[in-house]
Structure 1
Amino acid sequence: MERNWTARIVAGVLGGLVVLSVVVWLVGSSNPHTPAGYVGYVTRGAVFGKAQFVKLQTGPTSTGRGWLLDVTNVSVTPYTYTEDFMKEDSVLSKDNLKLSFRVHTVFKMRPDRVQDFMDNFSYLGNGQGDPEHPDEIVRVAYGNFIKEPLRTFSRDEVQKHNGLEVKDNITSIGQAIEKRIRAITDKTPFELSSVVVGNIQYPQEVSDAVANKLATTQLLERKTTEIEIEKKDKEKRVIQAQGIAQAMAIIQQQLTGQYLQHEAIEAQKLMVNSPNNTVVYIPVGPMGVPIVGTMDVTKPGAPVVKK
């Protein structure tokens, strides 16, 4: 009887230990998940001692359930960060004109360098491993490694130009900044895509002066165009007058006495053939050219002569 009681106690203790072990395992184990577009930095925690790096996993995937496993997911898709140079952060140009602008940087993490990124460029904690804030770790790394050099290079490149020349050189300024940033990120986990400078803003009085100058220039160009049109119209009228004068000169040369006499005879021929007129020819004048008259024979009275 006593042995049976002892066996039951031992069995109960063993069963309790098994149940406790299962509970502890379930509580202490996990199956960390990495979504698509991310690389997971998997670590194993320790009850005593330090956590250790286990592996990288490329999403979408998970580790499978394991003891004290945790993952920090790092996005390997492009990020765009914008640095403002506005108000008190405005930059003086070469000719001391105060400029406001923005610099946009596009970059991403190299998938095969995520371990290096986690070990040397950012840190765990402050919710960075929180699934609700997976991109916080990249923001922290950007602030630690890229932000200040980028702002310094941007100021330096803009200050090499006169204020009103910046807009015309905005592409080359962006390329110069990109070249300098690429030099410091080339051997790091940061893969730089582009640096773009934009939203150039001048002080209001400068903008107004430029706008007024542009309006004046456009007005002068319009007046110049109108003057050119008037000149062309004048040339056109002169050419037309010259053409008319030349035509009149030709006509005057052709209107000789013989030509006029010929035209008069032709007109008389047409009158003779008309059934509504009575024509009387009186040979007078040089070469017998008659004076033409029309007599109405139906009415008494003297004939009417038309010259």
Structure 2
Amino acid sequence: MEELDLPDPDDPPAPPKEPQEETAEQRAAALRAQRTLKLLTVLLTVCPTLVVAALARTNPYVEPGHEGYVYERPRIFGHGGFQGTVAGPGNFGLSLFRNEAISIDMRPQTHSEAFEVLAQDDLTLQFKFHAVISIEQGSVVRVVNEYGGLDWYPRFVAEPFRSFVRDAVQQYQSTDLKTTMDDCARIVHERLERYLEKTPFKLVNLSVGDINYPLVVVQAVERKLAAQQLLAEKDTQQQIVIKDAAIEVNRAKGKAEAQRIISSTLTSHYLQHEAIDAQKKLAESPNNTTIYIPLGPTSSQ
């Protein structure tokens, strides 16, 4: 049996071990650990509070010229719904609810519609109508609840507006629309204004753009205008020829009248007188020789 090496009770006790000194690296590591623990404690305490505060506070903003329909969008619990209105520019105000705003532009806006419509003579015309419509101040609740909010124009106005234009255009011949389009626009204006009479929407102005005819019609009109211009030129040339002929007739009449007058004044005595004057002038000339030849008894006749 193996004997155990037990200390002798008579031996003096061993001196206690001295603790080892902590190094600088160990102290720095311990300090970093303490700081990290404190930072984590602060973050775990403060961050949830900040997140909750940020999510709980809302303040919707509405731009100038707009009105805002403010409603609550529940986060977890609640029913939400309408909270109030705000006129821009401005904010609804801080709230613990998650409020949002539907911003409606109340200022006059131009709404353009392009058309390709058959006229009364079955000719397809292309043109545009422009309607300027504003929204009555303070009516944002009606606009959202009754007319579709931001989609109020396509949902409530666009289709009736188009129908009024088509009905008015089809009453006229395509060749007359250039001169009667103002009457057509007046009809559409009256019908659209009457349609919007009991709504928050007000028709400010209505105008018509250029009318575009089919290419075949444009070419036919150009040919007609060219023919009319050529005809006008021919008429002008004809008038010139007539005037020239009248001038020649008057010139001929003048010559004939002159000859008649001359012929009526050329008597035998006048001719003898003119002959004697001519002979006198010849006799006075130094380079002239006059020879008289008697002709006998008949020369005096």
TM-score (ref. length: structure 2): 0.63
- In structure 2, what is the Cα distance between the partners aligned to 1:197 and 1:171? 11
Question: Identity over aligned residues, as a percent?
Answer: 22
Contact 1:40 1:71 in 2 (8 A): no
- Evaluate the alpha carbon distance shift between residue 172 and residue 281 of structure 1 in structure 2; reply closer, same or farther with a 3 A threshold: same
Distance 1:82 1:261, change over 3 A: same
**Which residue type is aligned with residue 60 of structure 2?**
P
Q: Is the 8 A contact 1:81 1:105 kept in 2?
A: yes
| Structure 2 counterpart SS, 1:219 | helix
Give the distance between the partners of 1:34 and 1:253, measured in 2 at CA: 110
How far apart, CA to CA, are the structure 1 residues paired with 2:246 and 2:191? 61
Write the deviation string for residues 190-216 of structure 1: whole angstroms up to 9, x where unpaired. Answer: 2221042543323x4444444434433
Aligned partner of 1:199 in structure 2 is 211
Task: Give the gaps of 5 or more residues in structure 2.
Answer: 1-40, 295-301
Counterpart of 1:121, as a letter, is: Y
Q: Distance in 2 between matches of 1:194 and 1:268?
A: 100
Deviations 1:2-61 (A, max 9, x none): xxxxxxxxxx9xxx69982x654443334433334x212141425422332423313xx2
The answer for the alignment partner of 2:86 in structure 1 is 56
- Alpha carbons 1:41, 1:114 under 8 Å: kept: no
Q: State which drifts further: 157-166 or 25-34.
A: 25-34
Q: Secondary structure at the match of 1:106?
A: strand
Label 1:266 to 1:104 Cα distance change in 2 as closer, same or farther (>3 A).
same
Kept in 2: contact 1:76–1:108 (CA 8 A): no
| Distance change (3 Å), C-alpha of 1:155 and 1:198 | same
Change (3 A) 1:64 1:164: closer
* 1:164-243 aligned within 5 A: 164-192=175-203, 193-196=205-208, 198-202=210-214, 204-243=215-254
Partners of 1:27 and 1:196 in 2: CA distance: 51
Aligned length: 244
CA separation of 1:66 and 1:239: change in aligned 2, threshold 3 A: farther
Instruction: Measure, in 1, the Cα distance between the counterparts of 2:279 and 2:113.
Output: 97
Pairwise CA distance, 1:251 = 5.6
| Structure 2 residue 109 is the aligned partner of structure 1 residue 84 | no
Counterparts of 1:271 and 1:106, CA distance in 2: 106
Aligned to 1:39: 66
Please show how residues 1-307 of structure 1 align to structure 2 within 5 Å: 20=49, 23-36=51-64, 38-45=65-72, 47=74, 48-58=78-88, 61-63=89-91, 65-67=93-95, 68-86=98-116, 90-91=117-118, 93-95=119-121, 97-115=122-140, 116-123=142-149, 137=150, 140-192=151-203, 193-196=205-208, 198-202=210-214, 204-249=215-260, 261=273, 277=286
Cα RMSD of the aligned pairs, angstroms, is 3.9
Cα 1:191–1:265 change in 2 (3 A) is: same
One-letter code of the match for 2:70? T
1:117 maps to a residue whose letter is V
Question: Is the 2:136–2:202 contact (alpha carbons within 8 Å) kept by the matching residues of 1?
Answer: no
Query: Alpha carbons of 1:247 and 1:46: their partners in 2 closer, same or farther (altered >3 Å)?
Result: same
- What residue identity is the alignment partner of 2:185? G
Cα distance change, pair 153–106 in 1 and its aligned pair in 2 (3 A): closer
Distance in structure 2 (CA, Å) of the matches to 1:73 and 1:270:
121
Q: In structure 2, how many angstroms separate the alpha carbons of the residues matched to 1:64 and 1:56?
A: 6
Q: What code does the residue aligned with 1:28 have?
A: A
The residue type equivalent to 1:43 in the other structure is: V
Query: How far apart, in 2, do the equivalents of 1:216 and 1:76 lie?
Result: 54
Q: Which residue identity lines up with residue 164 of structure 2 in the other structure?
A: F
TM-score when normalising by structure 1: 0.62
Q: Distance in 1 between matches of 2:165 and 2:115?
A: 9
CA positional deviation for 1:184: 0.4
Cα offsets for 1:166-186 (capped at 9, x unmatched): 333222212211211111013
Q: Is the 8 A contact 1:43 1:71 kept in 2?
A: yes
